[in-house]
Chains A and B, each alone.
Chain A
Amino acid sequence: MSAAPFSVWRAIGVVLTTLLGFAFFNALIGVFGLSAAVIALLLFIALAVLIFRLPQTERARQ
């Protein structure tokens, strides 16, 4: 766990991420049909690439 105190925003973020992850998972394995799966794949990759390209200005551990 990082040292930050409990934060409502972070909790919301965690829940949202989990739900989104679950939604993507099901879409990718075709629960909502083939076209939804394709769209989910492209969307997910686009999201990943976008996040990957953010400048990584993470500070080292104290």
Chain B
Amino acid sequence: MKKSQLAGYLFASPWVITFLVFWLFPLLFSLYLGFTDYKLLKPTYNWVGLNNFVALFSDSEFLDSLKNTFIFVIGTIPFTTVIALVFALLLNKNFPGRTLFRSAYFMPSITSMVVIALIFTNLYSRGGYLYMLADMIGLSPPENGFLLSNKTALFSVMAMDIWMSVGYYMLLFLAGLKSIPEELYEAAEVAGAGAFRKFFSITLPLLKPVTLFIIVINTIKSFQVFVEIFVMTKGRYDSATAVYFIYETGLSRFEFGYASAAAYILFLIIAVFSFAQFGLLKQRGMR
């Protein structure tokens, strides 16, 4: 090996070692644990084959958490994406105070999620502003607050998540809008195209790569929702999501084998969805 090659390897080694020790090994080891009955306090553990995976698919707690995760994903992504796009289109125009609005919408994205979750916990509770507002406009909120009811807890967290995420995705859409050449709009105008025509024939097709990126990362993020649930409901009131289930099983009950199996099921679901989204959007010309 040449001296220059050795230097290259040496420079790369901190990252490679970190990757191997802190990423690859835990990833593979947790896959192995998924096939064992490993509990942290038990001195020994056994290979149990697919038992954990089979048990998970008959575990009502896990199935409920998966159901809640899907509700979260399906219920937030379309809203977040559409609202972010609308805000981006509005803020892409020149008007006084535009920067202020941009900053205001982006602010939740740079605020700690725990802080936001705590504030919303307050707003949703009986006597909180959102609770009182809902009461005032005749929405008859749950008696003990939005977060203490099976019917509203998860949806309340989802609403907060949409509010919190919109600003970040809006910024991505704005960047996408800025990259669309102005000449295209001028040419369309010369050809007599109206605002809708320009949006559907120019803006939307040219925003497809950004849209794909937003949908994929938002899907992955939403499948992994945890902090909001942990802070606001502790997984109670029919709001536990898959990652919360994994946390409870792994770090509260210390059933690492079972938790690892659940984590790999979630991993597979996210992988399938991500690839499907890529495939679907590519088929429609989003390259």
- A-B complex is real: no
B interface list, Cβ under 8 A from A: none
